[in-house]
Amino acid sequence: MDFNPAHSWEFWPRDKIEHRTVRALHNHVKHVKEASPYYAEALSGIDPRDITSLADYAKLPMTDKKTLVENTGRFLAVGPERIAETVVTSGSTGKPLVFSMTASDLDRLAFNEALSFHAVGVKPGDRAQILVSIDRLFIAGMAYYRGLTLLGANTARIGVLPFDMQKHYIELLKPTVLVGVPSFLRRLAKELDAMKFDARASSIQKLVCIGESIRSEDMTLNAVGKSLEEAYGANVYSTYGATELAVAYCECECRCGGHAHPELVYTEIVDEQGNPVSDGMPGELVATPLGVEGLPLVRYRTGDITFKIGEPCACGRQSCRIGPILARKSQMIKYKGTTLYPLTITNALDELDCIDDYVIMLEGGESLSDEVTVHAVTPPANVPQVVSHLRTKARVQFPVLVTNAATINAMRGDARKKVRIIDNRIPGKRQ
């Protein structure tokens, strides 16, 4: 498969993008009605020929993750002989999803990631190290590897190795690009410093950050993002993806929002009632992945809260962009009459060097206010500082309990991702 970024729709005029998007959505609905048993029933009263505008498409029913997980077999749009790869979600917010892809879906995934890495300035000749797991049926590491190799970068599958081995491969291979989870990259920088390795003077020029936010709601770098730039002397870029979409929204070199690849995904931001919200206003990300063979979806509710950035980007791309993920919809915190984004709390805690690690525990019964407790790996003497900082930065005052790394890891269980929120509230409250 050849990669040519000039074939992307991203730089097209907006009216042309919209015209092609409407045609793609028309074809998409026609395909899923014919190929997917679930959509043959769910869209039985829909004639694809009636979809002549984005407003027409917005009238179609949405699909949520619970329905997808419980009816995965009925969503499958190809026979078992067509399946080339199976991945499984972490299940951090519920039952894991078994997600099947054809060979064409894998090529599509590679094209998506190649577009994303191209946007941040990665090019043939760059040396990239993937510091993300590629085993355990995890889609992300595999996707990054396929995208980087398609782009022509010299790619090394390092994974989550001990820090001394990370240092060894950085010295040996002299990477220009690291791909990893921000909290891991931050810890790596501290360990490299302890081993007398100057990351700022190394070959590393770019950090592509996945899985955790490096930006605040106002699009400025948060404490983690700032610390990574300082520690590595490199530019940091954010990328957001979801297994169900097999697509990513990645920043470009201008670093002002994650670009949608319009030939691969149609993006909506909606309110609680499913109505579109204005650009810049927070809402739930609803996405329709285009060109998927195995598990095609229509208007998929991701459960992630973000906002759309409407104006064209300085890079010249005309595609829509999204801001940082502010929260999982199910993890929004109701506290003393107000609603809080978890990102507000995690950004505040990440500013404190005195905390080595933490989780935020959410509990509650039938009251209108959630019970929130911060479990922090920090000396007891630092608790007043943590409480004061939360009160100043996040305008909240939660109990802070001192714990240790082993207990934090036990609380997270066997999660593949570094869980920050543990939600033990009664499910009926999270509506």
pLDDT band at 430 (very low <50, low <70, confident <90, very high): very low
Per the prediction, the chain carries an average pLDDT of: 92
Q: Which of 133-142, 151-160, 248-257 has the lowest mean pLDDT?
A: 133-142
Write down the pLDDT at residue 412.
85
Write down the pLDDT at residue 367.
63
Write down the pLDDT at residue 339.
81
pLDDT for residue 256 is more than 80: yes
Task: Say if residues 294 and 76 touch (Cβ distance below 8 Å).
Answer: yes
pLDDT for residue 106 is more than 60: yes
Q: Which of 21-30, 163-172, 173-182, 404-413 has the lowest mean pLDDT?
A: 404-413
pLDDT band at 366 (very low <50, low <70, confident <90, very high): low
pLDDT tens per residue, range 185-240: 999 999 999 999 999 999 999 999 998 999 999 999 999 999 999 999 999 999 99
Write down the pLDDT at residue 85.
96
pTM of the model: 0.88
Q: How many Cβ atoms from other residues are within 10 Å of residue 112's Cβ?
A: 27
* Mean pLDDT comparison of 121-130, 309-318, 337-346, highest-scoring range: 121-130
Write down the pLDDT at residue 60.
97
Residues in CB range of 239: below 8 A, 6 or more apart = 116, 208, 209, 210, 248, 249, 250, 251, 258
pLDDT for residue 415 is more than 80: no
Write down the pLDDT at residue 396.
84
Write down the pLDDT at residue 416.
63
pLDDT for residue 247 is more than 70: yes
Question: What CA–CA distance (Å, rounded) separates 51 from 21?
Answer: 11
Rounded to an integer, the average pLDDT of 94-103 is 90
pLDDT for residue 320 is more than 90: yes
Task: Kindly report each contact of residues 140-144 with a partner whose C-beta sits within 8 Å and lies 24 or more positions away, as own/partner.
Answer: 140/210, 140/211, 140/241, 142/85, 142/87, 143/109, 143/110, 143/112, 143/113, 143/241, 143/246, 143/248, 144/113, 144/179, 144/210
pLDDT tens per residue, range 258-304: 999 999 999 999 999 999 999 999 999 999 999 999 999 999 999 99
